[in-house]
Amino acid sequence: MNFRPATLADIPQVVQLRSAFYAEEGYPDDPVRATQLLAQLVSDPRYGRLFVIEGEAYVLVTFGFSLEFDGRDAFVDELYVAPDARGRGYGTRALAIAEEACREHGVSAIHLEVELENEKAHRLYERTGYEAHSRHLMTKWLTK
């Protein structure tokens, strides 16, 4: 099971996996915009990293900066494993790869969000060292 850094050639397949992910979760999906944004991220490593296992899984980590979290921080923006590939350790490996990349880039803390009812994901994240806190993620769109 080898995650590798994504290239521009991987984007169509990641967009397909992403569409499956969004359909499972009931999120609105815009494959054209996703393609544009993934190309931007893959082309400029300052934004973050995208890792793939062809046709099976991907993990997307974005970089930020935080006084509270001691400088550079990161966010696991998306982690998806195709249904047929689940239960093989891909989620655990994806998080380890993301964390390795973050350490290489001087990241002090890595964050993620998970749906409250997704108990399986909660167990994975807790097992790999992530901790829940009492804050709630809030969002204000500036472009919509």
Structure tokens at 123: 């167990």
Q: Is the pTM of this model over 0.75?
A: yes
H helices present in the chain, as ranges: 11-25, 31-43, 90-104, 119-127
Which domains are present in the chain? 4-127 (3.40.630.30)
- The pLDDT tens digits of the residues spanning 98-138 come to 999 999 999 999 999 998 888 999 899 999 999 988 888 88
pLDDT for 8 equals: 97
Whole-number pLDDT of residue 91: 95
Q: Please tell me the distance from the alpha carbon of residue 92 to that of residue 90, in angstroms, as a whole number.
A: 5
pLDDT, mean of each 10-residue run, the chain (144 residues): 93 97 96 98 97 94 96 96 94 96 96 90 92 88 84
Structure tokens at 76: 């696991």
